[in-house]
Structure 1
Amino acid sequence: MDTALLVGLAHRSALKRRMDVVAHNIANMSTAAFNKERSVFRQHLIDVPGAAGTVGGKIATVMDHGVVRNLEAGTMIPTSNPLDIFINGRAYLSIEGSDGQTVYTRNGRMTLDADRNLTLLSGEKVLDDNGQPIQFDEDDIDISIATDGSISTNNGERGRIGIVSFANEQNMKRRGNSLYETDQAPQPPENMTEFTIRQKAYEGSNVNPIESMVEMIDVMRAYEAASKQSSGIEEMRKDSLSRLAQVK
């Protein structure tokens, strides 16, 4: 086993993975309610062969352990659309996914479809606190969304948006850029101090473009340095083999 080659490959693989995560963050800095991510690695120890089949020691490399989402809320972006909402607090909207399963999001950019169902801009239906789609009549106007998610129009109450929370948000799996699925049982917010709804606004991405660009440059430089180091080791190996071949 070529230990130097193995360590070099592990280092570059980790840097490539980190670059992929940073690039994904930058690509979604304009995506509503997108949470930036960071790659997580863990140390992996490998045995170094010694004489006569013994273990000569251990050497540390890195292994991809996954990604962690930054759960800090994005910037509140005001709009003129009465259907847009910003969630202040750690809560999610209940959404009917394209496969009919309930998924969740903090993306509050909404509209009405051809059947006057309340939907996300991407077409998924927003559910009420009973798990049913929210539909408006043709003569419903002056739509108002209260701080607790209750919806009313000129014709009276139209229900309440399904707002839920989860014990472990990091275990929620991303579906697309702003939808999440989870096996956890959703919990309704226990009281009004846990969240509030702001109408005519939505949550932007929490990606800081300057920080992300600086991180990308750092990763690129680290990858170049790792590549040069591996090339240097390879040149030393070739030189050593050349010198051994000349020994009589």
Structure 2
Amino acid sequence: MQTTTRSTSGTLKNRGFATLLWLATAGIFIPGYFISTQQAAALSEIKREELPATPAAPAETQTAPDQAAPPADEQTPSEAPDPDEAEPSQVTPATPHLGEDPNAPLPEIIYDISKLPEPVQNMRQQLLDVARSGDPEKLRALLVTTGDDATQLSVIGLDEDPITFLKDQSGDKNGEEILAIIENLLNAGYVHLEAGTPEEVYAWPYFFGMPLDRLTARQRVELFKIVTAGDYEDMKSYGVYNFYRLGITPEGKWAFFVAGE
């Protein structure tokens, strides 16, 4: 019992001491806690006040009522659009070549070489032989270089050596691409145009004599053997084929080998 009493007394004393210690602690530190909290709040306010103010976003510029843009019909000449500066898509394309009339009867597309007049067959074969030789210089012997019947190699005329010109037009600058084009054209179907007139000619490829919007799916496949789909899209703005074409007269003269309009 005494041990218990002492133990209990000691426990009470310990509890009393703890209680006093807690009270003492509460009496000292709790007020201090509130002071510390108030000081922290004050410091945070000071810091916020001392921070530089964030610049306000610039207000959108607004046109004053008396500065409003005049109606389109009251624009000064300097504000009105210049009719001479039309967008490219509004520019009238150059006059197309043969086959420009969308309502004209379509020419017969011919693949049979035996239907060509013999002089035309001979010139075609000579051109193919040169193309396959890989030597563009051999084209010189097939060209008519003087007079009104001179072989047309450019739509704007030619003032330089014709073989030099063809080489310059070739993507490889040696004239080999031009030879490949000649071979591709002469292996395509052809058309007989302007029969019975001074302009009569056998022309390759047959697309030269046809509006593009009247080509069938099969004919477009044949077209893509000569030009790319991108080229085709560009041509559609003109409505006609305007890549290289080659013509031979019924007498067997090499009449033209040109591209463009």
TM-score in terms of structure 2 length: 0.22
The structure with the largest alpha-carbon Rg is 2
Which of the pair is proportionally richer in strand? 1
The TM-score, its normalising length taken from structure 1, stands at 0.23
Higher RCO by CA contacts (8 Å cutoff, separation 6 or greater) = 1
